[in-house]
Amino acid sequence: MSTDADSASLVATWRGVALCHAKVSGALDKALEREHGIGLSEFEVLERLATTDGGDGRRMQDLAEAVCLSQSALSRLIGRLETDGLVQRAMCADDRRGIYAHVTPEGRALWEKARPTHRSVLADQLPANAPANGSLSA
């Protein structure tokens, strides 16, 4: 059974995580927009697509989960990136219900140009002991 002290500690930990996320995300979004004309969500999608093994793209459903967006939000974002010539959508050859997103050469070039900005902001903003796997437990 948890005590009030346990509960307060959990809430304090959560607030610290949320504050860190907000500060880092804000700094990333501002720097990427200022220097490359894209937001953090666009960068994350380009990075996930550019680093996919084999260049086969990613299934939209898997990509939505990887970047923590709803499928409808990802679809709108992919639509904007597609309009800008940075990604393409394609039907899955094995399953006509599946749609894949692929980075274009222009999208890869933008990601490569923006990557140092992204990494620099992360180095400036994240604590040295931040967990690398997305988990707060040791």
Per-residue pLDDT of 36-45, as tens digits, reads 999 999 999 9
Per-residue pLDDT of 77-129, as tens digits, reads 999 999 999 999 988 777 667 889 999 999 999 999 999 999 999 999 987 76
Residue 135, domain member (yes or no): no
Give the model's confidence band at 57: pLDDT under 50 very low, under 70 low, under 90 confident, else very high: confident
Residue 131, domain member (yes or no): no
Mean pLDDT of the chain: 89
pLDDT at res. 129: 66
Cα–Cα distances in angstroms (integers) from residue 104 to residues 69, 82, 120, 129, 134, in the given order: 21, 9, 25, 35, 28
Q: Give me the CATH number covering residue 77.
A: 1.10.10.10
Residue 73, domain member (yes or no): yes
Residue 134, domain member (yes or no): no
Residue 137, pLDDT above cutoff 60: no
Cα distance between residue 46 and residue 11, in whole Å: 34
pTM of the model: 0.85
**Tokens encoding 64:** 């939505």
Q: Is 56 helix (H, G, I), strand (E, B) or coil?
A: coil
pLDDT at res. 138: 44
Q: How many distinct structural domains can be found in the chain? A: 1
Q: 54 CB contacts (<8 Å, ≥6 apart)?
A: none
pLDDT at res. 128: 73
